[in-house]
Structure 1
Amino acid sequence: MTQQGTHDAVRDRYAAAAREALESPTTGTSCCSTQATDPITVGLYEGSDTPSDAALAASLGCGNPTALAELATGEDVLDLGSGGGLDVLLSARRVGPTGTAHGLDMTDEMLDLARRNQAEAGIENAQFHRGTIEQVPMPDASIDVIISNCVINLSPDKDAVLAEAHRVLRDGGRFAVSDIVLLREIPDALRGIVGLWTGCVSGALLDSDYVARLGDAGFTDACVEVTRTFDRDDLQRMSDMVGDHLPEGWTLTAIIDALDGAFASAFVRARKES
């Protein structure tokens, strides 16, 4: 796929998810499935005092970055690919009225959903912006913490995303995202399956490559911490990502074999030097 084709496929997938959530706010969706029991997204916010039930139901993530980012009162936070707004709203409560939580998304339907969820939660120190994570519409050195939840893997130009994250962070700012990472390489034939890309798998970076690219972008102290792995039963439940168009010479069983143990949810940390 071209970069524009990837953007279009991702936008279409998430616009459909947002429309579903707007029409049926109690229906859970995820980046990898329309099922609330999807193994990548299930159970991430259990026990959390979420500010909006609708935002929780529409959560599309693979982690809970707000629980790991150690946000402080008065900080300015930016969520790359904010979707239905759950992590923005959680961040807004953590930074308090002297801080601001910003959400960035390229999908109009997601922005509509996020703003509806913000109104439902009654949170005032949150702002949602339209744009891409490769070209962040915010000033240099305006943010203390970058968060993201299973979105950077969807970008066709991850170096641009990391460069933009570094640009908008203040000196000493933190990069603290949940994402899918590869633990070993996967066959090239699987990289071209649209459903595996929009489903957060085939566009993911190798864990060591993620760390290296953060360093190339100017970050220090980069590390990847695996937070959830997936077994063959999980892969079988996620098989709808492949769809009906298998690569030539491949069966669904062969694809599951190739992906078994190949990817995981992870928390990725780095820092911009002071």
Structure 2
Amino acid sequence: MNTSEELKQIVKDKYAKIATQETAINASSCCGATPSSGEVYNIMTDDYSQVEGYNPDADLALGCGLPTAFANIQKGDVVIDLGSGAGNDCFIARHETGAEGKVIGIDFTEPMIDKARINADKLGFNNVEFRYGDIENMPVADNTADVMVSNCVLNLVPNKERVISEIYRVLKPGGHFSISDIVLIGDLPAELQNDAEMYAGCVSGAIQKEEYLGYIKGLGFDNMVIQKEKTIDIPDDILSKYLDAEGLAQFKSGTTGIFSITVYAEKPGSKTSKPKMKLSELQDSCAPGSGCC
């Protein structure tokens, strides 16, 4: 497999191209990076169209969940979106935090930052900011965010433990995150695991579910809850670009599972500005009509 820096460059190059692709291409492929499917339209994405604050110009169909719907964002919060793309989740978060709050999007693909800033200007949002940076080393001070969200991005980062430690650093004591991402159960075939398109497509960069959750627990977060989990089925017409007939049959009949999970967890500490949700509420905190239920 490529080095960490080579993987980052692959993602940068691919997502610079994806920034100018049609949304339909992204939705019918794996995060816009693989060939499109003629069998399935929305392979990973959830429907945002009914979510308040949604702006279609900012939706590139690159997510695998609806983390903002579960994130318990309150008026006046400081919210940070990791891998903010064209700004989709930032603008929805801004609807929740209001004009009195602040939303910061971080992305390391310059065309995405440019696109997001244009979208923010069109909407007239002066409290939504987009920063160029690597989420392994976030350009944000300690104890800044009330809430952090991310949608199908950590799987693209070589050092996931480092990102989770950065999330801990940047959250205020008592702050929390809600993050949607791709995880695995079982091993991918080597042809998928070592393919650059599948890495940029949010699949081969994913790690085992238990390893992913273990990093969150091990770095000190409390009250971790899986808020939503869904199976990702990659269509045969995409898989056949990487696997021969025998390999495809083995993969489809095997024990490997590809899942999108949305995980909530809290940084320990006291925060009096808003009430904590009960654990029972965290798994059912999706607003009716938001499309996440």
Which TM bucket (shorter chain)? 0.7 to 0.9
Give structure 1 stretches of 5+ with no counterpart.
Answer: none
Q: 1:6 to 1:243 in 2, by over 3 A?
A: farther
- Kindly, what percent of the aligned residue pairs are identical? 34
The secondary structure found in structure 2 opposite 1:266 is: strand
Q: Aligned partners of 1:251, 1:200: CA distance in 2, in Å? A: 20
Give the equivalent residue in structure 1 for 2:146: 144
Q: Considering only aligned residues, what root-mean-square deviation do their CA atoms show, in Å?
A: 2.4
Cα shift at 1:121: 2.2
Cα distance in 1, alignment partners of residues 202 and 253 from structure 2: 18
The change in CA–CA distance for 1:12 and 1:84 in structure 2 (over 3 A counts) is same
Aligned-pair distance for 1:40? 0.6
Q: Contact 1:77/1:102 (CA < 8 Å) preserved in 2?
A: yes
Q: How does 1:203-222 map to 2 (within 5 A)?
A: 203-222=205-224
| Displacement of 1:253 | 4.0
Structure-2 change in CA distance of 1:126 and 1:51 (3 Å): same
89, 108, 133: which is aligned to 1:106?
Answer: 108
The superposition leaves residues 179-211 of structure 1 with CA deviations (integer Å, 9 ceiling, x where unpaired) of: 111133334553212122111112112222112
Q: Where does residue 273 of structure 1 map in the other structure? A: 268
Alignment of 1:5-154 (within 5 A): 5-20=6-21, 27=24, 29-30=26-27, 32-34=30-32, 37-41=41-45, 43-56=46-59, 58-154=60-156
Q: How much has 1:145 moved relative to structure 2?
A: 0.8
Q: Distance in 2 between matches of 1:90 and 1:237?
A: 34
- Does the 8 A contact of 1:131 with 1:137 survive in 2? yes
1:252 deviation in Å? 4.0
Instruction: Structure 2: give runs of 5+ residues left out of the alignment.
Output: 270-293
Contact 1:163 1:217 in 2 (8 A): yes
Where 2:261 maps in the other structure, the secondary structure is strand
Give the C-alpha shift of residue 28 in structure 1. Answer: 5.6
> Residue in 1 aligned with 2:236?
236
Q: Distance in 1 between matches of 2:208 and 2:102?
A: 32
C-alpha change, 1:119 and 1:47, in structure 2 (3 Å) is: same
**Number of aligned residue pairs:** 261
Given that 1:195 and 1:243 are in contact with CA atoms closer than 8 Å, whether structure 2 keeps it comes out as no
Give the distance between the partners of 1:38 and 1:250, measured in 2 at CA.
Answer: 26
- Corresponding residue number in structure 1 for 2:282: none
CA contact (8 A) 2:31 2:61 kept: no
Query: For 2:50 and 2:13, how far apart are their aligned partners in 1?
Result: 32
